Each structure stands twice: as C-alpha cells, then as structure tokens.
Structure 1
Amino acid sequence: MTRISSLPADDATCGWYHLSKPRQARPAHQGQTSARWVIVGAGYTGLATARQLALHFPDQEIVLIEAQEVGFGTSGRNAGFVIDLPHDIGAPDYIGDIDTARTVMKLNLSGQNYLKELVERYDIDCQMKHCGKYQAAVEPRGIAVLDAYRSGLDKLGQPYQMIEGAELPEHIGTHFYRKALFTPGTSLIQPAALVKGLADSLPANVTLYENTPVSEVEYGARTVLRHANGSITADKLILTNNAFGMSFGFLKGRMLPVFTYASLTRPMTPVEQARLGGRPYWGVIPADPFGTTVRRTPDNRLLVRNSFSFNPDGRSNPKYLERFVSRHRASFERRFPMLPSVQFEYTWGGALALSRNHAGYFGQLRENVYGALCCNGLGVTRGTATGKLMADWLAGERSELIDFVLNSPGPCANPPAPIVALGVNFNLLWGQYRAGQES
C-alpha cells in the first residue's frame, strides 16, 4: 500500500480561472468502480491521453480522475504560450544537435496542431491567437542570447525577424527593450479556458471525476486507487500528474516542483490602450530564463510573470504570493510607465515539474502502470503531444515520435533532499539576481 503524502493545493486567486467561462464540474467519484483504463491527472497530458484512448477503444470506458477542478490547477496557470520551436538552454545556440532539434520541433508541432484542431472543431472560446511571440532583451547578456538563438534558427531553417529597440513600440507599445527576436509560429491562449473546453468536449466513453484526490494506491496485477468516498480499480493505470507522480511512488528524487508567479491587470480603458499603443495582443518571453514574461491579452489586460520558489511538496504557499506581487509591480512600472493607474486584479502561482537534465519521462513505470511525466515547463504543447502518443503506444502503434520519447533518458537523480533544496533555492535566487533589468 502506498499512501499519497502530497496532494495538489493551489491558491484560489488565478485570474485565468476566474475570467474563463464558468462550467459545471463533473461529480466526484463515489463507491467502487472498475475500469480497463484509469488516468490520474486531467491537465493537458491526461486530457489528450483520455481523448485518444477513447478513439482507439470506443467500446471501453476510460476513467479520468482529477484531484481539483479542471482548469483550477497547473494546466490553467501557465502564461498561455503554445510554442512550436525547440529551445535548448544548455546549448550555445539554444538549438543543439540539429537532428534532435528537428524531432523536438515535430513533437511540439504535433501538440500545437492537435490543440488548434480541437479548438476549431469544438469552438472552444479560449482567445487562441496565432500571432507569434517576441523574445526580448534589455541587457547585453540577453542580447547575446538573442544573437545565439538567431544563429540556431538559421541552422534549423526557421523564420524569424530581429527587431531593434526603436521599432519595438510599434509592436508592443513599451520602449523598455533594446532588441527582440520575433518568431511567427507561436499561438497564444487563455489556458484555463482551453483546458475547460477540452474537458467538456471529451468523447462519450470517457468518464471524468473531479474533486477526487487519491489517498492510497495498492499496486499489483490490477491497481486499486482509494479515496475518501470509495475506490477505483484499474487494469491499466496511466499517471499524467507531473511531479505528483513522486507521491505515487515513481521517479522519487528526480523531479523538482518549482512554482512561478503571475499578476494580471484590470482591463485597460480606451484612453490607456491608446497611451500604450502597439498591437492589440502579443506575448513577450525574456531572453534570460529568469526574466519577466509579459502579455497583452485580447481583452486588453496586461500579464506579468516572474519570480520562482521551490515547493518540494508541490503545494502553493501563500507567503510567496505576498512577497512577489511587489516584484511584479516593479517589473510592470519599468515596462509601462505610461500606465501608472493600471492595477493588478489577480496574482497567483503555478507549478512546473522540472528535472535537472531537462528530460521528461515517457513509458512503463511498473506492471500495468505507465506515465507521461515531467513536462519541464512545456505542458501545453509537450504534454498534449506526449499524452496523445501515450494512447497511441498503448494501442500498439509505433512511430518516430513514440520511439523518440521512449528513448529519452528520463529525469536524472537529484542529490539528497537537504542538498537539493539548498542548491535549487540558491540557483533560483542567483538566477533572478543575474537577470537584472530583464526581471
């Protein structure tokens, strides 16, 4: 018997969740149920797995379990970038091995294109805009990153536009940045709205149980998942719950639950919109990975995301929200001095499942238990792609992309807990300090 030691506990202040269209959560599970396929975690990965399994096995019931409400957890808390390009921060040109980069791009595009298709097919209102992204820099170190990435994109044969600082206000309004690299393939979304829409358009043979946190697991030829009001027995169990896979007994000491934080303003007035200028919606990611992500949304709000914390139990901690909202305000004022009265309406945190070697896990964890875990901050595209591939693989298919994720080395082992906590916290603090004006 494995007792689940840590369950999701996100803050209640996520702007994306509250501003997305309300939906009726599916009832929590009650009593005893048996199913051939059971999936734990109804984020992008779990939803894609469930949808594709349902298509492969239309006469079988697929059970999907979510500890919270769909859209309330991690999948509804990201910055809303659906990115196509590879970005290997460990490589000098951010592309690395060209053959690997090409395969990674195929993987990302498969997830992105699948989401585009579903949004169109089910008319999901999630503010999806195929408008590209800007990667912007203000300090010399950040500009060097842009130049390196440009050379990598040349090698990969991908289009881009390098925009000098004087021209940037026409694009994003602010005069803050000195240079930006624009790539056209990224889509922007309202993430909570997207994941809610995906959940409400699942095939009829998928049964979704929300607000059903699993408290105990008994592994064997069949897996028994117990919770406060009953149990679910699975012939095949698939874990798509990222860092919480460690609580289920797998990849222990190999994933790092790191939280990042965002604030979202009230809508700008027409006068404020004119004062800002630029395009009606856009997204900026920082050249420095510890810098600030900024978005202008289609409903004329501004998003600022920066700051990190290491939460080993994967649960939100209110002290960080209080600490980081002032940092968000300072970042906002540096970029948008023309908007002094535009205040934040929401501030929230969201978890990333990271590994030290930036590798995820895909494959069999033990007899009749499988996992697609550790998205390393790429849950929208990579989670969607690997979730769909998991279902294809379990249905007996093989492909270049399935072989690629199966052959991944997986997350590497971390040092012992006290050492890894010291190391992660130091790296987070040092990275944010070195980001300088990029923060």
Structure 2
Amino acid sequence: MAKVTHLPADDSTCGWFHLAPPRTPRPAHAGHRSARWVVVGAGFTGLAAARQLATHFPDEEIVLVEAQQVGYGSSGRNAGFAIDLPHDIGADDYIGDIATAKMSLALNLQGQSILKALVKEHGIDCQLRECGKYQAAIEHRGIAVLEAYRRGLDKLGQSYEVIAGHDLPGHIGTGFYRQALFTPGTALVQPAALVKGLADSLPGNVTLYEHTPITQVEYGAQTRLVHAGGSLLADKLVLTNNAFGMSFGFLKGRMLPIFTYASLTRPLTADEQARLGGKPYWGVIPADPFGTTLRRTVDNRLLVRNSFSFNPDGASRQKYLQLFAKRHRASFAKRFPMLPDVGFEYTWGGSLSLSRNHMAHFGQLAPNVYGALCCNGLGVTRGTVTGTLLADWLAGERSHLTDFLLAAPGPSQNPPQPLLSAGVNMNLAWGQYRAGQES
C-alpha cells in the first residue's frame, strides 16, 4: 500500500467557480465497494473518459472520483479558450512539425466538436461563444512572433486576419497593442460553468463521488484506492488527474505543475462599456507565452491572466495571489486607462500540467491501469478528446488519432531536485522579465 503524497489544494477565490450556475455536489464516497471501472479526476479529461466508457458499457457502472468539488480544480480555473489550432509553445511559430500540427489540429477540432454537441444537447449554460481569438503583440519581438505564426498558419492552410494597431480598439477596446492576428476557430467559455454542466449531464450509469481524495493506493490484479471514508476496488483504473498522477506512482519526475494566475473585475457599468468600446466579448492571448491573456466576458467583466509559479506539490500558495494581484492591476492599467475605477472582484491561481518536451501520456501505465495525463495547457479541447479516445481504445476502438497518441514518446524526464526547482524558477523569472511590455 503506497501513500499518495500530494493532494489538490486550490485556493477558494476562483471567480469562474463562484459565478457559475450553482449546483449540488454529489456526496463523498463512504464504505467499501468494487467496480469494474474507476476514473480518478473529474476535470475535462475524466468527465470525457467516464462519459464515453458509460456509452461503450451501458450495463456497467462507471465510478468517477473527484478530490475536491467539480469545477473547483484546474479545469474550472483556466482562461476559457477552447482552441482549435495547434498551440506548440515550444515552436517558434506555434506550429512546429507540419505533420504533427495537422494531427494536433484534428484532435483539437474533435475536442471542440464534442463539447459543442454536449453544450447544445444538455443546454449547458456556460457562455459558449464561437468568436475566435486575437493573438496580440506590442514589442518588436512579439511582432516577429506573430509573423512566424502567420507563416505557420499558411503552411497549415488555416485562415487568419492581420489587424493593425490603429484598428484594434474597434475590436477589443484597448489601443495598447501594435498588431494582432485574429483566428476565427476558437470558442470561448466560462470554464467552471462548463465543467459543472458536464458533470450534471453524465449518463445514468456513471456514479460521481466528490470531496473524495484518494490517500493510499495498492496495485495488483485489482487496484485498491483508500480514502478517509473507506475504499474502492477497481478492476480497471483510469487516471485523469494530470500532474497528480505522479503521486499515484506514475511518470514520476516527468510532469511540472506550473501555476498561472488570473483576476476578474466586477461587471462594467453601461458608461464604462461605452468608454471601453470594441466588441461585446473577445479573447486575447499574448504573442509571448509569458505575456498577458485578456478576456471580455459575456457578462461584461474583464479578465487579466499572467504570472507563473512552480508549486511542486500542486497546492496553491496565498503569497502568490497577493503578489500577482498587484501585477494584474498594473497590466490592467496599461491596457485600460479609460477604466481607472474598475476593480477586481476575484484573484486566483490554477495549475497547468506541463512537460519539458511538451508531450503528454496516453495509454497504459501498468497492468489494468491507464491514463491520459499532461495536457500542456490545452485542457479544454485536448483533455476532452484524449479522455474520449482513451475510453474508445479501452473499448477496443481505435483511429488514426488514437494511433498518433499511442505512438507519442510521452513526457520527458526532469532533472532531479533541487536542480529542478532552481531551473524552473529561473526560467519562469527570466521568461516573465523577457516578456517586457507583453506582460
């Protein structure tokens, strides 16, 4: 019996979570039970895997276990971009190898398609808008990144629009940026509302247990999962808990729990909306991956996301919230000088599961243990599609996309501690400094 060394411990101040339509959490598990299928982690990946397993095995019960409350963890804390295009931050043009990029595009589009269909079928109130995204730059280096990205999109045969700085206020209100590249295929969502809606529309043969953190695990012909109120015995275990998969004994030293931080304003008044101008909702990602992400939401709030920290145990740190809220205020003031009195209602952190080679794990981890782990910052679409495809594969179905995922090398090994923390923290500090005005 091995102890699970780290458990999710997110902060309580995520604006998406508190503003999403309320729901009644499912009870925690108590007692002892057996199940053929147990899925650990009810984010985008786990919800998709459980749903698809239930479809393939309608006469079997699928158990889905969540350590916190659905929508409270990483899946409900991102910026809400369901991105269609490849977004390889390790490549100069965000595209990289063209054959790999085409497969990534197909995966992202399938993930988008799955989510759109579920939102429509179940009437999930998550502010989904198919409005595209802007990738914007202010510095010369950022403009060069946009030019490289444009060349990559040309190679991939994808449409875009180059928008000059003087035209940008008509799109996003602010005249801060010198140039942007608009791509039409991204959908924007309220992520916590989407995750909550997906949980409440699961098939009837999925049993969801919330507030059930697994504290010990024993592997064998079956896997025994122990928690404070009892235990679960799984014939087949599916791990969809990203970097916490390392605490279950897999991919140790191969994933990086990197936290990023966001602040969300109060709703803008009618006068403030008029002063801002631009479109009623939009999303901006920075040319530099260490820069600032922005959103104007359907309910007329503005979101600012930037700053990073490496939290090896995957737990939130209050000191970072206080520090980075000040950075958010400075970034907001530079971009929206016409809104000096608009304050933030919420500031929160959320974890990204990254690997040094930008690769994920998909497939078997051990006998009767499987996983789709390490989405590398594309959890909305990539988590959805990999969870779905993993369930298909476990049911005996596979496609060219499944073969592509199975053939991937997986996350690379990290250096040992303390070199790891020193190196990651140095790279984060340098990247944020180098981002300059993009931050």
The TM-score normalised by the length of structure 2 is: 1.00
What is aligned with 2:374? 374
- For residue 417 of structure 1, give the secondary structure of its aligned residue in structure 2: coil
The structural deviation recorded for 1:90 is: 2.8
Match of 1:77 in 2: 77
Match of 2:214, SS state, is coil
Asked whether 1:429 is paired with 2:429, we answer yes
1:401-433, CA deviations, whole angstroms, 9 ceiling, x for partnerless residues? 000110110000000010010000000000000
Identity among equivalent pairs (%):
75
Letter in 1 for 2:221: A
What per-residue deviation string (whole Å, max 9, x for no partner) do you get for residues 6-37 of structure 1?
Answer: 10000000000000011000000000110000
Question: How does the TM-score come out when normalised to structure 1?
Answer: 1.00
Does 1:419 pair with 2:419?
A: yes
Q: Which residue number corresponds to residue 219 of structure 2? A: 219
Q: Does 2:196 correspond to 1:196?
A: yes
Residues 261-309 of structure 1, C-alpha deviation per residue, up to 9 Å, x if partnerless? 0000000000000000000000000000000000000000000000000
1:208 maps to 208
Deviations 1:159-192 (A, max 9, x none): 0000000000000000100000000000000000
2:302 aligned residue: 302
Give SS of 1:350's match.
strand
Partners of 1:398 and 1:200 in 2: CA distance? 28
Distance in 2 (CA, whole Å) between partners of 1:90 and 1:229 is 43
3-state SS in 1 of match to 2:232: strand
- How far 1:96 moved relative to its partner? 1.9
2:90–2:358: 8 Å Cα contact kept in structure 1? no
Q: Partners in 1 of 2:125 and 2:174 — Cα distance? A: 28
Q: Which residue of 2 aligns with 1:46?
A: 46
Pairing of 1:45-64 with structure 2 (within 5 A):
45-64=45-64
Deviations 1:112-160 (A, max 9, x none): 1100000000000000000000000000000000000000101110000
SS across alignment from 2:204: coil
Matching of residue 361 in structure 1 with residue 385 in structure 2: no
Output the amino acid matched with 1:299.
Answer: D
Contact 2:264 2:301 survives alignment (8 Å): yes
Q: Secondary structure at the match of 2:410?
A: coil
Work out the number of aligned pairs and report it.
439
Q: Which residue of 1 aligns with 2:14?
A: 14
Trace 1:123-202 onto structure 2 (pairs within 5 A).
123-202=123-202
For each residue in 1:247-272, what CA deviation from the matched residue of structure 2 results, as whole angstroms up to 9, or x when unmatched?
00000000000000000000000000
Cα RMSD (Å)? 0.5
Query: Is residue 258 of structure 1 aligned with residue 258 of structure 2?
Result: yes
Aligned to 2:270: 270
What is the CA distance between 1:310 and its match in structure 2? 0.2
Q: Aligned partners of 1:246 and 1:34: how far apart in 2?
A: 24
User: Which amino acid counterpart does residue 318 of structure 1 have in structure 2?
Assistant: Q
* DSSP-derived class of the 1:215 partner: strand
Question: 3-state DSSP class of the match of 2:220?
Answer: coil
Q: Do the aligned partners of 2:92 and 2:148 also contact (CA within 8 Å) in 1?
A: yes
Deviation at 1:100, TM superposition (A): 1.1
Amino acid at match of 2:223: T
Match of 1:105 in 2: 105
Structure 1: distance between partners of 2:158 and 2:195: 29
Q: How far apart are 1:344 and its partner, in Å? A: 0.2
Equivalent residue, structure 2, for 1:338: 338
Distance 1:427 1:112 in 2: 32
In 1, distance between residues paired with 2:231 and 2:91? 46
SS at match of 1:36: strand
* Cα distance in 1 for residues equivalent to 2:267 and 2:91: 39
Equivalence for 1:325:
325
Output the CA distance in 2 between the equivalents of 1:109 and 1:205: 27
Which residue matches 1:312?
312
The Cα of 1:97 is off from its aligned counterpart by 1.7
Which residue in 2 is equivalent to 1:24?
Answer: 24
Distance (Å, rounded) in 2 between the aligned partners of 1:153 and 1:418: 40
CA deviation digits over 1:347-395, x for unaligned, max 9? 0000001000000000111010001000111110000000000000000
Cα distance in 1 between the residues matched to 2:193 and 2:37: 26
Q: SS at the partner of 1:247?
A: helix
Q: What residue is the counterpart of 1:65 in the other structure?
A: 65
Distance 1:226 1:94 in 2: 42
CA–CA distance in structure 1, aligned partners of residues 328 and 319 of structure 2: 15
Match for 2:272: what amino acid? E
**CA separation in 2, counterparts of 1:391 and 1:90?**
29
Deviations 1:197-217 (A, max 9, x none): 000000000000000000100
Partners of 2:92 and 2:353 in 1: how far apart?
Answer: 24
